[in-house]
Structure 1
Amino acid sequence: MGHFFRLFTITFTVLRFGLDEVAMSGFRQRWVRALVRVATFGRQLQAPRGERLRMALERLGPIFVKFGQVLSTRRDLLPLDVADELARLQDRVPPFPSDQSRALVEKAFGRRIEEVFSQFDTDPVASASIAQVHFAVLKDGREVAVKVLRPSMLGIIDHDLKLLYTLAGVVERVWTDGKRLKPREVVAEFDVYLHDELDLVREAANAAQLRRNMQDLKLVMVPEMVWELCTPTVMVMERMKGVPISQIDRLREAGVDIPKLARDGVTIFFTQVFRDGFFHADMHPGNIQVSIEPATFGRYIALDFGIIGTLTEWDKEYLAQNFLAFFQRDYKRVAELHVESGWVPPNTRVDSLEGAIRAVCEPHFDRPLKDISLGQVLMRLFQTSRRFNVEIQPQLVLLQKTLLNIEGLGRQLDPELDLWNTAKPFLEQWMHRQVGWKGFVERLKHEAPRYAQLLPELPRLVHQALEQRREADPALLALLAEQRRTNRLLQAVLFGAVGFIVGALATRLLMQWRGW
């Protein structure tokens, strides 16, 4: 019943804000148009289409707001007026009341807000789909930012996720590509990440890990957490001062090298993905600022660490090999990697897959980013993947989403950015470290403690394995019995030889002693 009511709410919201105009225009039946008029009675469509879309997504809740955030970075796929309006979803979602925010902070700390802060700004500086942020000053004078989780968020998200699971199941059953696209597994991935985002202690831990990883890169700053004031619903961190990355004119006036900033963003992303396997997976412009302070001029400032992506060593190596093969236009290797990874059936003809990938990617090389539509490339690749039954990997969904964010940022900063040539040297160096002598030594050092612990136990483990195998394998039992007989024979021969030699030596010594 709850799912039905939510579906009704979504349908009503779509109609209420006039998002049905294009979809319904294809229906000629009078009863359909009559039903639409009844359902949309009293709606106001004077507002521009972008504003109506933004308001509809805000009304539908946090999952839909996040969808709008991703769309806002794709100015190559959206009309400019719609993209500008959706950009407001990044950090200008309507806030909840200040007195409610104050009560939530006091409830989390178990004391009055004046006992924790010498100053607390009641008006939020940013408001997003999951939480809002207030500036404050601690008793010791430190300037901090206080992130407060929106009330009743868990119930709202759980309800929408249940609906998404239901819809994913329907898609998997009725759509021919449903099983291949694994919609339920994809929803399960987002389920995990959305629930992680609702725990601000986990977000603080993500920020601390990312801060350690990026400390030696000197290209990005991550705020330090005030751990004694971090709870599941309230998080206190160092206040960062920067200019939103979307304000390019202001950055240019401050003297920031915009093309370098774009290249640094690519370097940061590929470092997080391929070196650390731990990357910021919500990199829309509302979460990125740039420092103009003299000591840290031109560095990125990362904010909002609720969604973090992780990759295994196998994932990193597979992706790096694919990227390098693309950069080198080695489409045969790309096709072979798809077969080796099990992403396509083992009986797939490599030459056919190679030709299809070449047809999609070759036209886009040696062109600036402004002339490349990744949306069109992804659409062609999707069509190709359907033809060859490529399976979608749910663990890489966040990486795909982040790649779209990165491309959107790159388009805003430097339309002339050559994404391929910027990333290629980094990936080549990374692969050299992985497969070269240096990489071998580093992995050996990393595994040495484990080997040191395992080696003394190795004889016992081998013996246990042989005993278990012997119980299940009569042939091995006979082989071991034959080996024992051979060992006894060798022992008898050895002892006999030793006895003969000892006896001969004793006789020789006795003869010498007696003068014989």
Structure 2
Amino acid sequence: MTPLKVVPRLLRVASVLLAYRLDELVDAAHLYRPLKLLRPLVAKPRVDIRGLPRGARLRHALTELGPIFVKAGQVLSTRRDLVPADIADELALLQDQVAPFPGSEARAIVEQELKLPIGRLYAQFDETPLASASIAQVHAATLHDGREVVVKVLRPGIDAQISRDVKLLRSLGELAQRWHPNADKIRPLDVVAEVEKMLENELDLQREGASASLLRRNFASGVDLYVPEVHWDLTATRVLTLERVHGLSSDDIAAIDAAGLDRKALAVKGVRVFYEQVFRDNFFHADAHPGNIWVDPARTDEPRFIALDFGIMGSLPEADQYWLAQNFIALFERDYARIAKLHVDAGWMPADVRLDELEAAVRTVCEPYFTRPLSQISLAELVVKLFQTARRFELTLQPQLILLQKTLLNIEGVGRMLDPEIDIWAVAHPVLKRILRERYSPLRTLREVRKRLPEWLHEAPQFPELVRDALRQIGRGERRVLSDPLALKLSLDNARRQHKLIACGLLGSTLLIGATLLGTLSPHHGIWPPLGTGVAGLLAFAIGWPRAR
């Protein structure tokens, strides 16, 4: 039930949508349909909408409704698996810019958060902001040692405002969920939840600082990507102090050419940096539009990017990261059957989906692209269409995969602006294969085994009890009997895998414990007996380790 106190604001939203001729959105909430009769009384929009397509009209309407609706539009622009392409393209142009709040208030917030007078914190603090957005604004400052920094300060009262606006968005989402004919596909409440999570993260500047610090550490060499340093002694929940950097927006082609920078080399580096963030480090900048990705004008011999604004970052569960990488490799190699199987093995689709039908659907999407020159194939566009096709087979995607899809679109867009002839496939394929070769190398696997060995040894004594409990449950008939042949087969397969894991785990643990005892209690026998026993234990673990089927 929509609270009465938000009804006036809901009516204002409806009137703005009507003013911009977005009737289909008003029709989505049956409650609003009578308002269409009042169109002659609705105030005219702030811009001339004659001849504008629906996406542009929606963008202007969201801008008029305010910053939180701009955020919601930005989230919707990432959902290209749900939103039509023309609307997604327009919503991606939304800019979160609002009038600044007084610099004296920013100074007061800094002093309150850092608990010192501004003169003790900075040698100079400019009260005129460099930039202002709905959540925070940025001021230039100078440290006492002469280094230039920027200070990001949250808006006063922003917490209460966001809480109020999120309630309004949730009410709109509930109306759309109830009345929109395609609510099951659009999932408006999920979109509201994504907006809410994004805003919650952006309200904690210390979290943003931690993200910047990790990304800087991942690219410590600074050859391809430079990340400004965080000044932790001048950072708190509502204040973030970063090294000030100077650069060119990555879409300012004229300025980049005037600086004598190699745009082709930059485009290749952009693609490489994306794959390294996602598959090497599993931590990627998820808001990589040209305003947040600059080019360093001073590095003419070795061009590089500069990253800004770390409020929206992404990472993937380790399993999803692996399956996604394998999907990309299969896509590069046009192995449609493997793509279909990987989607099921990853758990993104029901186990009973027909692989031949899924393979045919994937082929139908991909083949038209492969008739073009490779330099004209949009990997991002292809991935979006694959997600849209897979939805017919009950595809389930995590929000982080949606963030990744948005980042891929942004990075490819930047790459093609810098070099319209870039062959994304030729650049991405060897980079991804190299990363996977390093990530899943035998040496790295041995390091992982050594890291987990103490945990396995700690849990090894529990294996006999687990086997005994399982046998007792089977003996008492506590296991559910499945009548469905497919479900029964899956259950039997799972049981066999569990028994194999337990047996091999027991054997492996015993052999590793034996190797440890041989090495410590009987060193006079030399290194080979404990080494051989240890290797046998590792092989037992490897044999019993569950594999994707």
Q: What TM-score does the superposition give when structure 2 sets the normalisation length? A: 0.73
Structure 1 position 365 matched with structure 2 position 370 = yes
SS in 1 for 2:329: helix
* 1:300-321 superposed Cα distances (whole Å, 9 cap, x missing partner): 1101111110112111111011
Aligned AA for 2:351? P
* 1:423-479 superposed Cα distances (whole Å, 9 cap, x missing partner): 1111122232344xxx23213213413313542x35532344356457656589xxx
| Residue pair 1:282, 1:308 contacting (<8 A) in 2 also | yes
Separation of aligned partners in 2, 1:367 and 1:93: 43
Separation of aligned partners in 1, 2:57 and 2:70: 13
The correspondence of residues 165-180 of structure 1 with structure 2, limited to 5 A, is 165-169=170-174, 178-179=183-184
| Residue pair 2:265, 2:303 contacting (<8 A) in 1 also | no
Identity of aligned residues (%): 44
1:451 aligns with 453
CA apart distance, 1:374:
7.0
| Residue pair 1:180, 1:391 contacting (<8 A) in 2 also | no
- Relative to structure 1, the CA distance from residue 121 to residue 351 in structure 2 (aligned partners, 3 Å threshold; closer, same or farther) is same
Structure 1 position 260 matched with structure 2 position 256 = no
- Relative to structure 1, the CA distance from residue 174 to residue 341 in structure 2 (aligned partners, 3 Å threshold; closer, same or farther) is farther
Mean Cα displacement is larger for which, 369-378 or 94-103?
369-378
CA apart distance, 1:158:
2.9
1:241 aligns with 246
* 1:310-353 superposed Cα distances (whole Å, 9 cap, x missing partner): 11211111101111111111111111112222323323221211
2:38 pairs, out of 35, 38, 47, with: 35
| Residue pair 2:374, 2:425 contacting (<8 A) in 1 also | no
2:16 pairs, out of 13, 22, 29, with: 13
CA apart distance, 1:117:
1.7
Higher relative contact order (CA 8 A, sep 6+): 1
The correspondence of residues 283-362 of structure 1 with structure 2, limited to 5 A, is 283-294=288-299, 298-362=303-367
Structure 1 position 199 matched with structure 2 position 204 = yes
| Residue pair 1:291, 1:299 contacting (<8 A) in 2 also | yes
1:282 pairs, out of 282, 287, 294, with: 287
- Relative to structure 1, the CA distance from residue 406 to residue 311 in structure 2 (aligned partners, 3 Å threshold; closer, same or farther) is same
* 1:200-248 superposed Cα distances (whole Å, 9 cap, x missing partner): 0010011111111111462101111110110111111111121121211
- Relative to structure 1, the CA distance from residue 475 to residue 52 in structure 2 (aligned partners, 3 Å threshold; closer, same or farther) is closer
2:95 aligns with 89
2:444 aligns with 442
SS in 2 for 1:425: helix
Aligned AA for 2:445? R
CA apart distance, 1:299:
1.3
SS in 2 for 1:289: strand
| Residue pair 2:288, 2:410 contacting (<8 A) in 1 also | yes
| Residue pair 1:369, 1:415 contacting (<8 A) in 2 also | no
SS in 1 for 2:291: helix
SS in 2 for 1:237: strand
2:119 aligns with 114
Separation of aligned partners in 1, 2:349 and 2:269: 35
- Relative to structure 1, the CA distance from residue 113 to residue 414 in structure 2 (aligned partners, 3 Å threshold; closer, same or farther) is same
Aligned AA for 1:360? V
2:62 pairs, out of 38, 53, 57, with: 57
Aligned AA for 1:94? A
The correspondence of residues 444-483 of structure 1 with structure 2, limited to 5 A, is 444-455=446-457, 457-458=458-459, 460-466=461-467, 468-469=469-470, 472=473
Mean Cα displacement is larger for which, 442-451 or 462-471?
462-471
Separation of aligned partners in 1, 2:209 and 2:361: 44
Aligned AA for 1:9? R
- Relative to structure 1, the CA distance from residue 171 to residue 314 in structure 2 (aligned partners, 3 Å threshold; closer, same or farther) is farther
CA apart distance, 1:359:
1.2
Aligned AA for 1:302? A
Gaps of 5+ in 2: 28-32, 478-549
| Residue pair 2:72, 2:192 contacting (<8 A) in 1 also | no
1:433 pairs, out of 430, 438, 448, with: 438
* 1:248-279 superposed Cα distances (whole Å, 9 cap, x missing partner): 11011111111211111111111010111111
- Relative to structure 1, the CA distance from residue 361 to residue 254 in structure 2 (aligned partners, 3 Å threshold; closer, same or farther) is same
2:161 aligns with 156
Aligned AA for 1:365? F
Aligned AA for 1:125? L
Aligned AA for 1:126? A
Aligned AA for 2:42? A
Separation of aligned partners in 2, 1:15 and 1:120: 45
* 1:16-59 superposed Cα distances (whole Å, 9 cap, x missing partner): 5x35489899xxxx98765111122x655458969986664344
| Residue pair 2:137, 2:153 contacting (<8 A) in 1 also | yes
CA radius of gyration, larger in:
1
Separation of aligned partners in 2, 1:428 and 1:375: 18
CA apart distance, 1:71:
8.7
Structure 1 position 102 matched with structure 2 position 102 = no
Separation of aligned partners in 2, 1:296 and 1:120: 34
Gaps of 5+ in 1: 477-516
Separation of aligned partners in 2, 1:184 and 1:72: 16
CA RMSD of aligned residues (A): 3.7
The alignment covers a number of residue pairs equal to 461
SS in 2 for 1:123: coil
- Relative to structure 1, the CA distance from residue 24 to residue 442 in structure 2 (aligned partners, 3 Å threshold; closer, same or farther) is closer
CA apart distance, 1:284:
1.2
The correspondence of residues 214-253 of structure 1 with structure 2, limited to 5 A, is 214-216=219-221, 218-253=223-258
| Residue pair 2:295, 2:304 contacting (<8 A) in 1 also | yes
Mean Cα displacement is larger for which, 364-373 or 247-256?
364-373
